[in-house]
Amino acid sequence: MVRGKTEIRRIENTARRLVTFTKRRNCLLKKAYELSVLCDAEVALIVFSSRGKLFEFSSSSAERTIERYKLQTGNGNGAKGIEKNVQHRRTEATDTANKIKTLESHYRKLLGEGLEGCSHDELLSLETQIVRSLQNIRGRKQSMSEEQIVQLNDKVRVLLEENVSLHQESHCRAEAQLQLRAGRDVDPTKNVEVETELELGRPGTREAK
């Protein structure tokens, strides 16, 4: 049976359209991979679905391939593309330098330097920024002080508990030493004097000695 030629137009059925997209996308990605391997070609493939989901394949780096493409297609001429890219980089460098210069000037003004050319509104704006910064700094300082106080109180509590524990241990040791000394002072082998009565001479007579 010979398959009929598929008409190339938008598939109206949503389910069929999604199935067709999945099949043909996978086939396209496979062909791109085969082309890069078999022919040693630099290939970058980017596909967005109708729902905005990205699918991509790159034999090396998609970003590098895109940059290479931009250089090669600048006004249809590679040299002009390179020149355009260089000019773009120079413009970016100039803009960055101007931004840095502006930030440095603003920083000096915040330090109270270079205020000669400032208008009244600019000085008022600087004053507002400095006041707001001082409020933030003081708030942060107060917060840190409170945290340090809490930490110090915790340390004091721990030290007091350790001190009480050490005092109790010292008291127990002292009592144990006293009991040990008291036990050593009693000598069970020592003679004990006992009063006795001894009778001498004839019976009926008693001489105490």
Q: Where residue 35 sits, what CATH number does that domain have? A: 3.40.1810.10
Q: Would residue 19 count as lying in a domain?
A: yes
pLDDT at 72 exceeding the cut of 80: no
DSSP labels for 4-49? PPPP-S----HHHHHHHHHHHHHHHHHHHHHHHHHS----EEEEE-
Q: Would residue 55 count as lying in a domain?
A: yes
Q: Would residue 161 count as lying in a domain?
A: no
**Comparison of pLDDT for 209 and 116, the residue scoring more:** 116
Q: Would residue 179 count as lying in a domain?
A: no
Q: Would residue 28 count as lying in a domain?
A: yes
Q: Which domain range does residue 35 map to?
A: 12-62
Separation between Cα atoms, residue 31 and residue 79, nearest integer Å: 31
Under the banding of pLDDT at 50, 70 and 90, the label for residue 187 is: low
pLDDT at 192: 47
- State pLDDT tens for residues 20-67: 999 999 999 999 999 999 998 999 999 998 888 899 999 888 888 888
Please report, in angstroms and rounded to a whole number, the separation of the first and last CA atoms in the chain. 152
Burial of 62 (0-12, 13-18, 19+ CB in 10 A): middle
Separation between Cα atoms, residue 104 and residue 98, nearest integer Å: 10
Q: Would residue 85 count as lying in a domain?
A: no
Which one-letter amino acid corresponds to residue 186?
A: V
Q: Would residue 105 count as lying in a domain?
A: no
CA dihedral (25, 30, 31, 33) positive or negative? positive
Q: Would residue 51 count as lying in a domain?
A: yes
Separation between Cα atoms, residue 5 and residue 7, nearest integer Å: 6
Cα-trace Rg, the chain: 50
pTM of the model: 0.37
Question: Stretch 172-198: mean pLDDT, rounded?
Answer: 66
Separation between Cα atoms, residue 145 and residue 137, nearest integer Å: 12
N residues, the chain: 209
Query: Rounded mean pLDDT of the chain?
Result: 82
Count of structural domains, the chain: 1
